[in-house]
Amino acid sequence: MLKNLLKKVPRKPRFLLADDEADVRFLLREYLTTLGLAAEEASDGQEALRIFEKKGPFEILVTDLVMPGLDGLSLIRRIKEKEPETMILAMTGYARDYGYVDVVAAGADDLIQKPFSLEEFEARLARLLREWKLKEELRALSIRDALTDIFNRRYFEERLIEETHRALRQGYPLCLFMIDVDHFKLYNDTRGHQDGDVLLKTLAEILCGCTREKVDQPFRYGGDEFVVLLPHTDIEGARKVAERILNSFRKAGFSPTTLSIGIAKLIPREDVRRSADDLVRRADEAMYRAKRSGGDRVEIDPESLKN
C-alpha cells in the first residue's frame, strides 16, 4: 500500500523520529529505510528541535508524547510554529493522560497508542502521506506562475527569506537580479497580447536555461518583471550570468524590446528581514539605473561592489 502511494508523491518526504526509547526509534527507522525513506533520530524533544532547526524542515515528525525535558506536546507546538506544513504523528503509551482532541489541538495530525503493530503504523502513515501529497499538489499550483510556469512572486518572497537566512548563517554570497523588459508595452500594443505572452514565456525559458538547475531560482515578479536568486554566487559570477541572459534575449528576436538587469549582493543588516528587503531595494534601484541609461544593459549596485 505505502510503496504504491510513494510512487505517486512529488518527492519523498523526510522523517524526524523523536522517542526516548532507542528500540522504538530503531524499529521505525528500519521500517522507513525498507521503503526508501530517510529519517533522523532524536532521543528527546530538545534534541529533536535542534535537529529540526539544523537539518530541517522535515515533512513528517513522529514523536512520543512522554520524553524527558521538552515533552511531545511542547515539541509539537514548537515545530508547528516553525513549520506549519509539517505533518505530525504522535505516539503514547499513556492513553489515559492524552486525549485525541488535546493532541490534535496542539498541532498533531494523528495519534497512535503504544504498543502498536507495523500494520497499524503503516495505516496511520498512509493517511498522513495522502494528506501531505494533496497539500504538495495544491502548493505546487499556488507557487507557479500560470503563464510562464516558473515560480511566482508569492513564492519568491518566501524563498527570499529562507535563502537570506541560510546565506547569513552559513556565510556564503547571495546575489539577486531584478529584470525588466524594456518597451514591453509598445511591443504588446503593436504586436498583440498573444505575441507578448510568447515573449514572456521565452524569457522565462531563457532564465531557466542560463542559470543552474535546482540551485538558482527564477521567478516572475509581476507583469514584465522577473527576478532571479543566485546562492553561492559572487558579483563577478552574477555579472557573467546576467550578460549571458542579456545576449540570449537579444538573439531571440523580440525587437524593439530589450532587458534592463539590476544586480545586488546580500549585505548583512540588523536582521534577516531587513537584509532581504535591502537586497531587493538595491537590485531594484540598479535595474532602474539600467532603464534610465537606455536599457539593454546590466547595472550593478555600487554598494555590492564595495563589500
Distance CA 307, CA 296 (A): 26
What is the sign, positive or negative, of the torsion defined by CA atoms of 192, 195, 201, 206?
Answer: negative
* Partners of residue 225 on adjacent β-strands: 180, 222
Q: Is 224 a catalytic residue?
A: yes
Q: What are phi and psi of 254, to 5 degrees?
A: -110, 40
- The residue assigned the cell 505530525 is 88
Beta strands 225-231; 174-182: pairing state:
antiparallel
Whether 230 and 238 have beta carbons less than 8 Å apart is answered as yes
List CB contacts of 160: < 8 A, sequence separation 6 or more: 176, 229, 276, 279, 280
Whether 264 and 235 have beta carbons less than 8 Å apart is answered as no
Selection from 242, 197, 236 nearest residue 220 by Cα: 197
Distance CA 230, CA 209 (A): 14
Distance CA 288, CA 16 (A): 46
Catalytic residue among 64, 145, 224, 284: 224
Residue 151 DSSP symbol: B
Which residues are the active-site residues?
224
